Amino acid sequence: MLKAVRVRDIAQKSGVSVGAVSLALNNRPGLSDETRQRIMQTAKELGYDFSRLQDSKIKKILFILHRQHNTTNAMSFYSPLLLSVENACSGRSIALSFLVIGPTDNIQQQVLQHAPDALLCVGFIEPEIMAEIRQMSLPLVLVDHAIPGMRSINPDNYQGSMLVTKHLIERGYKRIAFMASSLAHYSIRQRERGYRQALFEAGMLMSPDYEVTAPSLTELTQSLEYALDELMALPEPPDALFCYNDAAAIVALNYCQSKGIRVPEDLAIAGFDDIELAGHVNPALTTLAIDRITLGKRAVEMLLSSSESENELLPVKLIVRTSA
């Protein structure tokens, strides 16, 4: 029995990458005519079974995460999402691979080494990197990120932050602060917008001093502590703090403990995401729960569908605990 010719065999014989062979066989852009013709000729000479190309279904998805998210704090959110995507793929006999990228990487080369049929880009990725990814013309869905004109799926960050801010207002807090890391992130911008809208609807005029963005430092905890120092040094420090995510809120809890600030008596603290640790810290963290299982499952379904829906939002749930 003849051994089936693999894409890797064609790549080796042609002197090109596996990704380049995939582009040629699937008639996708990204190759010169000369390279494409050489690959196709080599495939014919080796006896490649072109009937395999008649099934255009997605068989391999690449999960792309920015290097800045590949940290212990960030992965507490993204790991359950990745597992959900893996479960959704395995149930459909789709292979899943994982790639961490950064601005100094050769993006197209790294992506094509995985020879994916489709991409899930997860979390914030710089516009320059996204421009390179889009040039590959692969089916693509953004998760926990949004760019106009591109398909995306997100938790409802805006409504969620309105919920938690209204909760703080209803509890009687008057000086409610918001702490962010970078407003370049889509999700953080939406959370800040929801915070502002809830204050506006309540008729509360809050000083801009109560909105702080942590400075760009290599160590995120130190960066957040600088922002907390700025808030607590105000003539009237906040009596409540809404943090852009749970990891930041837990930094705030530890900061308060080290400074003798009682939570929630002196400062109420709320987060966003409901990571596993949120219910186990002391005091337990008030937060917004994101259904990451559904988020991952729907991301795969959107990628496999022909729907042109631009931005699907999943509801979030307010989880009230003792911190606020």
**What confidence tens digit (pLDDT) does each residue in 72-113 have?**
777 888 999 999 999 999 988 999 999 999 888 899 899 989
- 213 residue type, one letter: T
Work out the average pLDDT over 196-203. 97
Query: In terms of Cα–Cα distance, which of 55, 127, 128, 117 is closest to 89?
Result: 117
**Portion of the chain with pLDDT greater than 70, in percent:** 94
* Equal fold, 60-153+292-314 vs 157-289: yes
Question: Residues of 84-121 as b/e, b for ≥16 C-beta within 10 angstroms?
Answer: bbbebbeeeebebeebebeeeeebeeebbebbbbbbbb
CATH number given to 60-153+292-314: 3.40.50.2300
Per-residue pLDDT reduced to its tens digit, 49-62:
665 554 457 899 99
Span 108-121, average pLDDT: 92
Q: What are the boundaries of each domain within the chain?
A: 7-54, 60-153+292-314, 157-289
Candidates 89, 101, 176, 175; CA nearest to 132 is 101
pLDDT at 176 (0 to 100): 98
Going from the C-alpha of 124 to that of each of 1, 61, 83, 121, 228, the distances in angstroms are 49, 19, 19, 8, 24
Work out the mean pLDDT of the chain and round it to a whole number: 90
Q: Which pLDDT band holds residue 47 (cuts at 50, 70, 90)?
A: confident
In this structure, are residues 297 and 139 in contact, taking their beta carbons and an 8 Å threshold? no
DSSP annotation of 221: H
Q: Which fold has domain 7-54?
A: 434 Repressor (Amino-terminal Domain) (1.10.260)
User: Which residues are paired to 95 by β-bridges?
Assistant: 60
24 confidence band (pLDDT: 50, 70, 90): confident
- Give the CATH architecture of domain 157-289: 3-Layer(aba) Sandwich (3.40)
Helix (H, G, I), strand (E, B), or coil: what is residue 310? coil
pLDDT of residue 116: 92
Q: Which residue has the higher pLDDT, 244 or 139?
A: 244
Query: Is pLDDT larger for residue 24 or for residue 266?
Result: 266
Rounded to 5°, the CA angle 22-26-28 comes to 90
Report whether pLDDT(246) > 60. yes
CB 63 within 8 A of CB 82: yes
The predicted pLDDT at position 23 comes to 81
250 Cβ contact list (under 8 Å, min separation 6) = 271, 277, 278, 281, 285
Tell me: the pLDDT tens digits for 265-296?
Answer: 999 999 999 999 999 999 999 999 999 999 99
